[in-house]
Chain A
Amino acid sequence: MSLRHVANVVGLLLVFVAVAMAVAGLVSWFYSDGVTGAFFLSALITLVVGLAAYGLTTVSHDITVREGYAIVTFAWTAMGLFGALPFLLSGTADSVAGAIFESISGFTTTGATIFTDVEALPEGILFWRALSHWLGGMGIIVLVIAVLPFLGVGGMQLFKAEVPGPTPERLRPRMTQTAKLLWLVYVGLTGAQVVLYMAGGMSAFNAVTHAFATLATGGFSTMNDSLAGFDSAYIQYVTILFMYFAGVNFTLHFYAFSGKPTFWRDTEWRFYSALILAAAVMLAATNLTTGAYAGVAGGIERAVRDGLFQAVAITTTTGFVSADFQVWHPFAQVILFVLLFTGGMAGSTGGGVKIMRVLLLIKATAIQLKKHLHPRAILLARVGSRVVKEDVLANIVGFVILYVLLVLAGALVMGFLGMDLLTALGASIATVGNIGPGLGNVGPTDNYGWMSGSALTVLSFLMIVGRLEIYTVLLLFHPGTWKARRSFK
């Protein structure tokens, strides 16, 4: 493990972050919102630190597995810290912990905010929040790999550590090409959503920021009432469609773009779609039978739309809101609570446990049951026609256990800090799963602004651990990672 090597790559990534800040600065200048100086100052600080880290270190060898994990973890932490600068320097955030929370919530595509009145924020800040989502969604490291091929073989290590899901697929023999194609699909889908939004009468600014937040499965809105703030069925349906797309494995999108759609042959996709559909139908039915939409104009359509919207928003971990589900019937709330765990498909921009892992966990459980009937049987888990190896299965079972333990540990800390059970659990799940709105006092109509600095710091950590899928970060806390490997040269 060479810390110099880590500093080198992290420094390079900060240069990218500085460029992104400058872009947000230009937006701020265009709208003359009064915080332009804060952006360019932030960009300058980030650039200087980044260049210093990059320039003062030398790279002597390719990235090792351990360095890969360290680079990704430190890069995300550094991005989160430097990304907080615009919030602090512009004076929009009143505490350091709050600014860092907001920044990390952006990059990890969580979408949990400390701001009570979003609509009062300067345009530059709103754009910066959306841009941090968008960069974090597909993964800034994937972007760097796409642009800078020199990371070489080590790029795969970084790619693996950053891309969500059990096993990233390669679309092309070379890492750089794969990363490029993924970003191309990402940009294409974002463009399409912006066009559809604007066709529905949305302003260019709102269209871009919401498209960024949707495709990244983020959830930052420019409206206090999130998507409920747009009283347009069309805009909400467009949002539902693109949230759904963002939760799909981007490899499948790529094949669809190249004219060979393979969606329906993909087991995980079928499970993902069926889950959302079933949840939406149950939510709509619950709301209609309990009379929650009685007396509302177009009640049935609204109930169906809201059911679908919440089911997609929670499953994909976007966390946009079109209705306050905390006033719904308990059954509807429990459905959404279950969806908080599932997450999007592997290889999507969504967070959570991931549909693939849920699917394999169910299969692993079924195998254990069958094993009791046939003790000598050789039973294999399959996804479609592909056999999942036993060690991958064990890894996934381990991951899910770790995930649940992490959520419980987070809730424990929140409880210690004085939150009630529902809020503590909700805040922990919503940050580990990169969802945004949780339950209780962090529900769909609330925010995280009231929390203490220590609570926000713990939740910020949970967001990074959740985004990097636990193992990547936790490995750094394993003593073995830091022991020097003996070499026999």
Chain B
Amino acid sequence: MKVIIIGAGEVGFHLAERLSEENQDVVVIESDPDRAEETSDQLDVMTIVGNGASLPVLERAGVRGANILMAVTSKDEVNLIACLAGARMGVGYTIARVSNPEYHASGSVLSQDVLGIDLMINPARESAWETFHLLTSPAATDVASFANGRLQLLGLMVKEGAPLTGKTLAQLDQELEGMHYLLTAILRDQETIIPTGATRIEAGDQVYLLSLTTEAHLIPPLAGYEEYRLRRVMIAGGSPEGAYLAEILAQYHIEATIIERDRKRCVELAEALPKALVLNGDATDLELLELEGVAGMDGYLAATSSDDTNMLSSLIAKQAGAKKVVSLINELDYLPLAPKVGIDAAVSPRISAVNAILRYVHRGRVTSVATLKGIGAETIQFTVTKDSQVAGQALRDLALPKGSLIGSIIRGDDLMIPRGDSVIRPGDDVIVFALPDAISEIERAFE
């Protein structure tokens, strides 16, 4: 598969990195020569220096034979023009990174059916959704949903003395008879393990569990966490990410309080978000946070435009008693720091955008992909066709590559957590967990 990526910023770079690891042919177009050189030094991709919205540059990148064009510069208009050009020159799928919500709105002249842009990704909105998932599953550091939200994957740290601690998977199968779940991956000492029946869970393990969404609330107690419902959320910072989160919370009838320093922005927010309480103040003003009841908050998102302020604000909120604290972090180098200093989870708008795009890229054979932070494993959903190698075979007879695991089979309305004798049939949707090295081989097996 040939992919053209326009813009080698954080989003473009990470897309290129992940796609080249999956053995795809990647061409990156970048206008800044230094950045372009840096990219070609670090990644196994071809780079072209130039403006991605210009036809000659696109021609040079081989746009006519490309399957996918991803325009992910920080400028909406450049991305849109590049996609329009790409679509006209026969690219199969075009994806644009677009931040201005007016371009997304239904009825926009740029809508898919009119101009043929297949996907518009808004990093702020994607990260707001990710934050929402994290807040609704407080113990989880990772959350992803599959099969139209009927399956949920939770990643959480197993506590000392939790029901899971010290048990093998085979033991758990007996104890948790009747519950629909699957332990898909364990991260232990920076190493990802795709577990077997004999694998024993230890305290401190980061486990990734797949379960029915209706039973997802039973998972955190297994790892030693309390079960609870999200009722009140405080958002420090009226950035687009914060505003989108407030909008999502309003849909689910969850109370939202937004704190923003700029008075004019406050008025804008209050106009756009009738259900949220908008406060004019500083995200690190402890007195204000306490006055507005930060101690009683189920969730807290630090969403100012400054990483430093976000980290500080998160720590203050955590100290003051907010239950689940999420910080928005733009600088990717800071991401690993967040859990170390006591912030429950960190969300990067750019990584959210990368995930959203990758989820789409695998469409056709794949309907949903989540990239698990921290571990390299991906979660991929395939639709099995008659011609697939795996069709009609029992799981134990499949020669699945090492570092991969079938997590679930969806047949019509039935969801199955599979066993060795389960048979895959054409028409099934199958969710697979795989380490990056195994992805290409898996894709071939399901083609």
Interface residues of A (CB under 8 A from B): 374-380, 382, 385, 387
14 contacts between A and B (CB under 8 A): A374-B277, A375-B291, A376-B280, A376-B288, A376-B291, A376-B292, A377-B279, A377-B280, A378-B263, A378-B269, A378-B278, A378-B280, A387-B270, A387-B271
Contact across chains for B271 and A374 when beta carbons are under 8 A apart: no
**Residues 246-283 of B contacting A (Cβ, < 8 Å):** 263, 266-267, 269-271, 274, 277-281
Which residues of chain B have C-beta atoms less than 8 A from A385's C-beta? 274
Residues of A within 8 A of B263 (CB): 378
* Complexed CA–CA distance, A263 and B281 (Å): 40
Pick the contact of B270: A375, A376, A378 (CB < 8 A). A378
B contact residues around A374 at 8 Å (CB): 277, 279, 292
Residues of B within 8 A of A382 (CB): 274
Mask, B406-420, CB within 8 Å of A = 1, is 000000000000000
Within 8 A of A (CB), among B274-307: 274, 277-281, 288, 291-292
Q: Which residues of A contact B281 (CB under 8 A)?
A: 376
Given contacts A379-B270, A380-B271, 7 further A-B contacts (CB under 8 A): A374-B277, A376-B288, A378-B266, A378-B269, A378-B278, A380-B270, A387-B270
Within 8 Å CB of B288, what residues of A?
376
Q: CA–CA, A375 to B280, complex, Å?
A: 9
Number of B residues contacting the other chain (C-beta, 8 Å)? Answer: 15
Q: Is the CB of A376 within 8 A of B271?
A: no
| Contact status A380-B277, CB under 8 Å | no
Instruction: Output the least CB separation between B374 and chain A (Å).
Output: 38
Task: Give the secondary structure class of A's interface.
Answer: loop
- Shortest C-beta distance, B104 to chain A (Å), equals 20
Measured CB to CB, the closest approach of chain A to B255, in angstroms, equals 13
Nearest-neighbor residue (CB-CB) of B258 within chain A: A378
In whole angstroms, what is the CA distance A378 to B288 when docked?
Answer: 14
The residue among A374, A375, A376, A385 with the most chain B CB atoms within 10 A of its own CB is: A376
Chain A nearest CB, measured from B237 CB (Å): 15
Q: Of residues 71 to 121 in B, which have CB atoms within 8 Å of A's CB atoms?
A: none
How many whole Å from B290's CB to the nearest CB in chain A? 12
Q: Which residue of B lies closest to A390 (CB)?
A: B267
Bound-state CA distance A354–B225 (Å) is 57
Closest approach, in angstroms, between the C-beta of B281 and any C-beta of chain A? 5
Q: How near does chain B come to A128, taking the closest CB pair, in angstroms? A: 50
With beta carbons under 8 angstroms apart, the residue of B274, B279, B292 that contacts A378 is B279
Closest Cβ of chain A to B235, distance in Å, is 14
Complex Cα spacing A333 to B280, Å: 46
Q: Could you tell me if A376 and B279 are in contact, using CB atoms closer than 8 angstroms? A: yes
Nearest Cβ on chain B to A162's Cβ, whole angstroms: 31
Docked complex Cα distance between A375 and B287 (Å): 12
User: How near does chain B come to A151, taking the closest CB pair, in angstroms?
Assistant: 35
Nearest A residue (CB) for B285: A376
Name the distance in Å between B258's Cβ and chain A's nearest Cβ. Answer: 9
**Which residue of chain B lies nearest to A387 when distances are taken between CB atoms in the complex?**
B271
In angstroms, Cα B271 to Cα A382, docked, is 9
Expressed in whole angstroms, the minimum distance between the Cβ of A150 and any Cβ of chain B is 40
List the 8 closest A-B pairs by CB distance, nearest first.
Answer: A378-B266, A378-B278, A376-B279, A378-B270, A380-B270, A376-B281, A387-B271, A377-B279
Q: In the bound complex, do residue A377 and residue B274 qualify as a contact, i.e. CB atoms below 8 Å apart? A: no
Residue of A nearest to B272 (CB): A387
Distance of A375 from chain B, by nearest CB (Å): 8
Find out whether the CB atom of A377 lies under 8 angstroms from the CB atom of B267.
no
Shortest distance from the beta carbon of A394 to any chain B beta carbon, whole Å: 16
Asked whether B277 lies within 8 Å of A377 as measured between CB atoms, the reply is: yes
- Closest partner residue, chain B, to A385 (CB atom): B274
Question: Would B267 and A380 count as touching, CB distance under 8 A?
Answer: yes
Once bound together, how far apart are the Cα atoms of A375 and B263, in whole Å?
14
**A residues less than 8 Å from B279 (CB atoms):** 374, 376-378
How far is A387 from B268 in the complex, measured between Cα atoms in Å? 11
Closest beta carbon of chain A to B412's beta carbon, Å: 42
CB distance from B428 to the nearest CB of A (A): 46
A385 to B270, CA, bound (A): 12
Q: Report the separation of the CA atoms of residues A377 and B279 in the bound assembly, to the nearest whole angstrom.
A: 4
Q: Report the minimal beta-carbon distance from B259 to chain A, rounded to whole angstroms.
A: 8
